[in-house]
Amino acid sequence: MKSQATDGQPAPGRAHVTSRRWTVSLVWIVPIIAVLVGVSLVVHNWLQEGPTITITFKTGEGLTANKTPVKYRNVVIGQVTDVQLSEDQKNVTATVKLAKTADTFTHEDSVFWVVRPRIGAGGISGIDTLLSGDFIGADAGHSKVRAKSFTGLEAPPPITYGEPGKRFTLHSQDLGSLDIGSPVYLRKIPVGQVVSYALDADGKGVNIEVFINAPNDAYVTENTRFWNVSGVDVNVGANGFAVKTESLSALLVGGIAFRAPEYSPNDTAAAEDKNFELFADQQSALAPPSGKPQYLALRFDQALRGLRVGAPVEFLGIEIGRVVAMNLDFDEKQRTFPVNVGIVIYPQLLGKAHEKLLKSLDYDPEDEAAAARLVGSFVERGLRAQARSGNLLTGQLYISLDFYPKAERVAFDTSARPLRIPTIPGSLQQLQEQLQTVIERINKLPLESIASNLDGNLVELRKGLSQFNSKTLPGVQSTLQDVSKTLQSANSTLAEDSPQREQLTQTLDDLGRMSRSLRELSDYLSRHPESLLRGRPKDAPAQNLSFPVKE
């Protein structure tokens, strides 16, 4: 048995085991490599894939799926993948797939809008889309909160890409001709623009938000005043017409200007989002503070054509207020229609006079009763309101507060609110009344009888002059001729060098001039007999009507 084992025969009870090696055919190498590459590409794309967001617009104009790009600074950062109507069919929802690098555009305060050709206050924009097509513009926000859904803007925001500067809010009674994009000027240089506007919470005014670009935002200080420079400012004054406008742009699309008063010591830069008042013009903006207003009532028994709301109110020639209301009333007793006028004055505009008044009388301006007693004392001294003509060319009126010591005394009610100041007729009305009185007196004169008596007197005067010319004057002339002949005879008998002859010659000359003067007087009176009553006119030609006087 031992020999059989050594002869290579298997031992009884054991199976023969044969070993096999696993090998890969070369045919499978290429598919395996392709699968690995594909998996790596999928993983790479998944890692590089950006977020997907939805943007809601009111209309789908300019939006096309898989075609409309999303751009930031004119660089593509995403693409619209789907455009669908909202469930209520009032809006359009665009699905946008952003790039991985555009992850910051998922901040909650990010904004999106459709860029298309537009013409607005800021100029013409989106012209390049005429060739390239509309696209969605984007501006990244700064909020730490992320969002997936956004509401698109209907118009591009005026300030984008995080431009440095400050925003300020202006309060005004109305918007006027301002619009988003209207320029903001500093000394006629554009330094900002209007970015938004909205009504106040109570609807009684408008809040206008402006953006001032850096570094000019540092010139907006705590004492800065803003005013409207829209359109053309035309003033008619004693010096003629004055036309002012900030620029052609402000004339067309409106504008705002700002500046601090010349004297502003210790002025500091204003913080962002500070509130300012928007004045109507530069004069009112740079005027000193008005202080607490005082409302007064006036009542005129005359027509006030030319007086308008906003007309100035002056005290001794200094403007201290304006007209705020006008309405027609009816007096049942007199059966007349007086005009009620409401005015507002600012006593602080009196300057040093107001300060001295407070010190001398030692009263509190907040005390209405004390203020009423003060006004009552002025009324007792003759304080009256009068409507005066401010411009003869335009016929505009203004209210003048002045003292008239001879004015009729009236009762003043210190308990009335607002206080009612007595009035006197306007200067123009007084002049009309005086002219009417003169005309009535002239009408009462017996002009016809006076004219008839004058005509009779002129007829008698003509008769007397004709008799004087026909009878008296020829006799006087003949007498003078006789005297002249006598004197000539005497002159011939006297010696040539005798003094009597010289005196006689001078007498003859005087007689000749007297004769000529009489003839001229007679001729003038025959042509102008009325000169005996009226005298010789100033523009009448000089006549030698005086008789010679011998010295």
Together in a domain, 322 and 419 = yes
Position 348 scores a pLDDT of 84
Domain that holds residue 147: 45-151
Together in a domain, 143 and 175 = no
Interacting residues of 444 by C-beta distance below 8 A, sequence separation 6+: none
**Residue that is last in its domain, among 411, 440, 469:** 440
| 11 within some domain | no
What is the C-alpha to C-alpha distance for residues 296 and 375, in angstroms, rounded to an integer?
A: 10
The neighbour count for residue 35, using CB atoms within 10 Å, is 10
CA dihedral 53, 59, 62, 66 (to 10 degrees): 40
Which structure tokens are listed for 336? 């007349």
- Total tally of structural domains belonging to the chain: 4
User: Helix or strand or coil: residue 377?
Assistant: helix
Position 79 scores a pLDDT of 92
Interacting residues of 30 by C-beta distance below 8 A, sequence separation 6+: none
Together in a domain, 56 and 187 = no
| 542 within some domain | no
Position 545 scores a pLDDT of 45
Together in a domain, 435 and 305 = yes
| 6 within some domain | no
Can you list the residues of the chain whose pLDDT is less than 70? 1-27, 44-48, 119-130, 231-253, 362-363, 365, 392, 427-436, 445, 447, 464-465, 467-477, 480-484, 486-505, 508, 511, 525-526, 529-551
Together in a domain, 270 and 325 = no
Position 550 scores a pLDDT of 42
Together in a domain, 422 and 326 = yes
Strand partners, 326: 341
Position 9 scores a pLDDT of 56
Together in a domain, 304 and 392 = yes
Per the listing, tokens 């210790």 go with 266
What is the C-alpha to C-alpha distance for residues 92 and 150, in angstroms, rounded to an integer?
A: 12
Position 78 scores a pLDDT of 93
| 347 within some domain | yes
What is the C-alpha to C-alpha distance for residues 97 and 139, in angstroms, rounded to an integer?
A: 16
Together in a domain, 262 and 328 = no
Position 540 scores a pLDDT of 60
Together in a domain, 392 and 505 = no
Q: At what angle do helices 473-493 and 499-527 cross, to 10 degrees?
A: 160
Together in a domain, 281 and 391 = no
What is the C-alpha to C-alpha distance for residues 429 and 408, in angstroms, rounded to an integer?
A: 17
Together in a domain, 429 and 309 = yes
pTM beyond cutoff 0.85: no
